[in-house]
Amino acid sequence: MNRYPGETHVLVAVDCIIFGFDGNDIKLLVVQRGLKPEKGKWSLMGGFLQPQESLDQAADRILKKLTGLEGVYMEQLQTFSDPLRDPVERTLSVAYFALIDIHQYEKQLSTDYHAEWFLLKKTPELIFDHKKMMEMAKRQLRYKAALHPILFELLPAKFTIPQLQILYEGIYDTTFDNRNFSRKVLSTELLIKQKEKDKANSKKGAFYYKLDKRKYKANFQAFLNFIPNPDKLLM
């Protein structure tokens, strides 16, 4: 193999930050590291890029190997390049992140590498700069959730306003006023009210809604308008 003379070669790693929603809480998927240093400590799903694969292929391979999950949509977050981030040798890490419906993928999850979901508020100490990666992914998720309908992928085709509120409160780690949230989300005119009600949680029940995807595409910033203090919450 030809090489560029006089150039230093470094390793390239891929780390996967997987957030999950179980209907009530936002969680982070982590594994116990299988090699030294920091063997046995909690880590994001990571591994090294192989010569024959792209970064996207490496992310898919690593996630499947360490957790059993496949078919998960992930997007590239950022490259982390601190020269001292890995104590063994110089390693760049390209981070990917995703938000998935835990119930949709729970049957795929393998325990071979001790993959485990932790509440986002109670994540264990992570190795290297993995906490920094997770925090950056969380900020990016909040930004995208304000501008795009990605959170609706975690809801049933028909959902209630309280279900939507629980999801957004989990993402932004805050509490919205019930009436104010309902008023603002309905003012976007992006939800289509259904005739049926969900009566599982109250006698009165809550009407089901569907997202009007056609209107959403035409006015994709509408949801930013109902998030209070968006600049603060997106930090």
CATH code of 169's domain: 1.10.10.10
Q: Are residues 130 and 179 in the same domain?
A: no
Given a cut of 90, is residue 63 above it in pLDDT? yes
In a domain? residue 165: yes
Q: Are residues 22 and 95 in the same domain?
A: yes
Q: What is the pLDDT of residues 81-116, one digit of tens each?
A: 999 999 999 999 999 999 898 988 988 998 888 999
Q: Are residues 123 and 225 in the same domain?
A: no
159 near 136, Cβ under 8 Å?
no
Of 137, 168, 200, the last residue of a domain is 137
Q: Are residues 95 and 158 in the same domain?
A: no
At residue 171 the predicted structure's pLDDT band, cuts being 50, 70 and 90, is confident
Q: What is the pLDDT of residue 234?
A: 55
Q: What is the pLDDT of residue 196?
A: 92
Distance CA 9, CA 234 (A): 37
Q: What is the pLDDT of residues 12-50, one digit of tens each?
A: 999 999 999 888 888 999 999 998 999 999 999 999 999
Q: Are residues 108 and 181 in the same domain?
A: no
Q: What is the pLDDT of residue 1?
A: 63
CATH of the domain at 51: 3.90.79.10
In a domain? residue 143: no
Q: What is the pLDDT of residue 153?
A: 75
At residue 143 the predicted structure's pLDDT band, cuts being 50, 70 and 90, is confident
Q: Are residues 124 and 187 in the same domain?
A: no
Structure tokens at 148: 């795009």
Instruction: List the alpha helices (DSSP H) in 77-226.
Output: 102-105, 130-147, 161-172, 178-187, 213-218
In a domain? residue 229: yes
DSSP state of 220: T
Distances (CA, A) of 60 to 8, 78, 96, 230: 28, 17, 10, 33
Of 118, 137, 156, the last residue of a domain is 137
Q: Are residues 23 and 79 in the same domain?
A: yes
Q: CA angle 160-166-172, nearest 5°? A: 135
Q: Are residues 195 and 91 in the same domain?
A: no
Q: Are residues 19 and 133 in the same domain?
A: yes
Q: What is the pLDDT of residue 130?
A: 98
Q: Are residues 49 and 109 in the same domain?
A: yes
Q: How many domains does the chain have?
A: 2
- Taking Cα atoms as reference points, which of 57, 40, 36 lies closest to residue 48? 57
Q: Are residues 127 and 155 in the same domain?
A: no
Share of the chain above pLDDT 90, in %: 53
In a domain? residue 6: no
Q: What is the pLDDT of residues 173-217, one digit of tens each?
A: 888 899 989 998 888 888 999 999 988 766 678 999 998 888 877
Q: What pTM does this model have?
A: 0.84
Q: Are residues 27 and 118 in the same domain?
A: yes
Q: Which domain holds residue 197?
A: 148-233
In a domain? residue 27: yes
